[in-house]
Amino acid sequence: MLSPKRVKRRKQFRPSLAGKAHTGSNVSFGDFGIQAAEAGRINARQIEASRIAISRSVKRGGKMWTRIFPHIPVTKKPAETRMGSGKGNPEFWEAIVYPGTVLFELGGVTPEQAKEAFRLAGHKLPVKTKFLARE
């Protein structure tokens, strides 16, 4: 699973989910992409599940790019712990996506293959997605 090698601070505030994506909203590397249609938080397990679904769908053909990275730590307090005594320890990592963010890209495959691969990957993600082709 994806996680940062090292971070400046172990614990962070939750980022805002308001607004739209400014950068990272165009297909830059491949021919087709899957784009987030709503804002949300995608954890490293969901990114990995989507990546596996895409790679199994296209088999050996094509090349895939992952355009998001989980760099936000999510903390959690242990079970049956009383309130107070500070913030919990980092439990997992997540990526913040805004409407328009390109999540994955594919190149070297037919449009039908890419559409099917992204349909399968979309089922693994907690945000609505749409198919995108390079202009």
Q: How far is CA 61 from the centre of its chain?
A: 22
Q: What is the pLDDT of residues 32-54, one digit of tens each?
A: 999 999 999 999 999 999 999 99
Q: Quick one: tokens of 31? A: 């021919």
Q: Which is it for strands 89-97 and 72-76: parallel, antiparallel or unpaired?
A: antiparallel
pTM of the model: 0.93
pLDDT tens across 100-122, in order? 999 999 999 999 999 999 999 99
pLDDT of residue 113: 96
Q: Tell me: domain 32-77+88-133, CATH 3.90.1170.10, correct?
A: yes
Q: What are the boundaries of each domain within the chain?
A: 32-77+88-133
Residues 13-27: tens digit of each pLDDT: 999 999 999 999 999
Quick one: pLDDT at residue 8? 96
pLDDT at 135: 80
